[in-house]
Chain A
């Protein structure tokens, strides 16, 4: 089975972001960028399936500007076999991203496409679901366990009310949650080796997909700030605060 994994380059999840004062966006100049954490879990899952002999090729694809090559290299260092960068400097909406991925999916024809469940920049949580619709494939989102079973997959997923397990015929689309695995950190030799693995770059414009945004982003603003409170010294004071707050709440 071939596995296609989509990875996104985002502001590193440990960076506290700053909204530009003019409301035009979030400052990304000089900010550390890295692979979206959920995508890392997707790559790890694909590599583990390959290591277990359940997949023979892991192809990673990223859509973004030239520097997105870095996150492809990270995935290759983790054990993916081949990379594709669909290059664009535009900020694409999730629908356009899904359409480009659908094109690559048609070309590569993987048995499984793995993606992160959401990107920590736009927090959309769309792309896997959209790709599933565009390719007419079944989906399992928020996966915390993936088992290959003959012709299909059994995927445990995290839902609001607990957990559930889906059985999916292949080809299928699965999005990774954090509990799926612990992504490896590639050692230096793997990082060096990644540079010699095949990596194709193709302009997004070549795919014949309408990439124009559908939504108008009017502004980006910082959330309302919280004012810090005070410390109390005793449990009795804390209890009094809680009781007062609750009685005020109930009076409303």
Chain B
């Protein structure tokens, strides 16, 4: 059996999600990775070091969903599985490719139970669905946060593929990337999340300073994002990013079920909230009832006192 993994990358960096996808599918067969896009030399190099990778294919160019579908459909004939992470690129193109091939995809997979059995959450993670597929090929997106990363040390060959004849009707005319020095939200070990109670973009700097202290990624609720306090790519939840950190620190977040959908995989949850009745307070491993504007500076000072370094 052979597997093609569509890698995520941005601004010349391979997404940490890709190592997790590769590890997750390694048992299904030999894994080739496709890197499609601009600025792919460095990410292709990183991809070639991942354990279990047989070959890295590179397709240089600017791809959007329709051209990426075209590119993938020419490659797909050779593979039993086509897999992407359940990020925005995978969500955009995998269902499109599936319909083109008259296949039903299985997306947002959180567990691979066998060569054709998969588990995926439904209803914002309030139920888990186990599906079996007897189709000739399997088109999957996986939630990177549910899997561990592949080791490195490999040196798989890198091979450029021909993209002539691939075109798209849609054109990318502008992109705005959020610059951030914090770790990748979707795969971070620690995430500090802020809600609407943080009150402003400046307030989020307080959240960021705690995150920096802990070498954590920053997350936000939809309410905080909609209010303009945080960029949309920080949004955690049913319609934002799904995260599974070892530690999630939720600050001024009520715990609406759409937000909880994004953090179900968190190993430990800490909640800081003024309301002892907030659903997230009730669910947390440790909760502190208090005003975030007092608690966070004190917490940073206490962590300094303990001498915590990360």
Taking Cβ atoms with an 8 Å cutoff, the residues of A that contact B are 11, 13, 16-17, 19, 26, 93-95, 98, 117-118, 120-127, 129-134, 137-142, 144, 154, 158-169, 172, 177-179, 213-223, 226, 228-243, 245-246, 249
Contacts and interface: CB of A to CB of B under 8 A. Distances in A.
A65 B272 CA distance: 45
B13 to A, nearest CB: 10
Contact of B132 (A120, A134, A218, A226): A218
A131 B100 CA distance: 9
B77 interface: no
A216 B117 CA distance: 9
A129 B103 contact: no
A216 B104 CA distance: 11
A214 B129 CA distance: 15
A132 B68 CA distance: 13
Given A141-B91, A242-B247, A245-B268, A221 B131 contact: no
B287 A231 contact: yes
B286 A133 contact: no
Contacts of A159: 88-89, 233
Q: Is the interface of A mostly helix, strand, loop or mixed?
A: mixed
Contact of A126 (B65, B95, B131): B95
Contacts, number: 259
A164 B175 contact: yes
Interface string B174-198: 1111100000001001100000000
A139 B96 contact: yes
A229 B284 contact: yes
B226 interface: yes
B177 A162 contact: yes
Interface of B: 8, 10-11, 64-66, 69, 87-89, 91-100, 102-108, 117, 121-135, 168-178, 186, 189-190, 214, 222, 226, 231-233, 238-239, 241, 246-247, 249, 257-258, 264, 268-270, 272, 276, 281-290, 295, 298-299, 302-303, 305-306, 308, 310
Given A95-B99, A160-B186, A246 B131 contact: no
B244 to A, nearest CB: 13
Contacts of B276: 231
A223 B120 CA distance: 11
Contact of B97 (A133, A214, A226): A133
Q: Kindly list the 6 A-B residue pairs having the minimum CB-CB distance in the complex, ordered from nearest.
A: A239-B302, A130-B99, A229-B285, A214-B104, A126-B95, A138-B170
A60 B205 CA distance: 44
Nearest to B118: A215
B91 A238 contact: no
A141 B65 contact: yes
Nearest to A225: B283
Contacts of B126: 16-17, 19, 222-223
Contacts of B308: 239, 242-243, 246
A167 B173 contact: yes
A230 B87 CA distance: 34
A163 B96 CA distance: 21
A178 B171 CA distance: 23
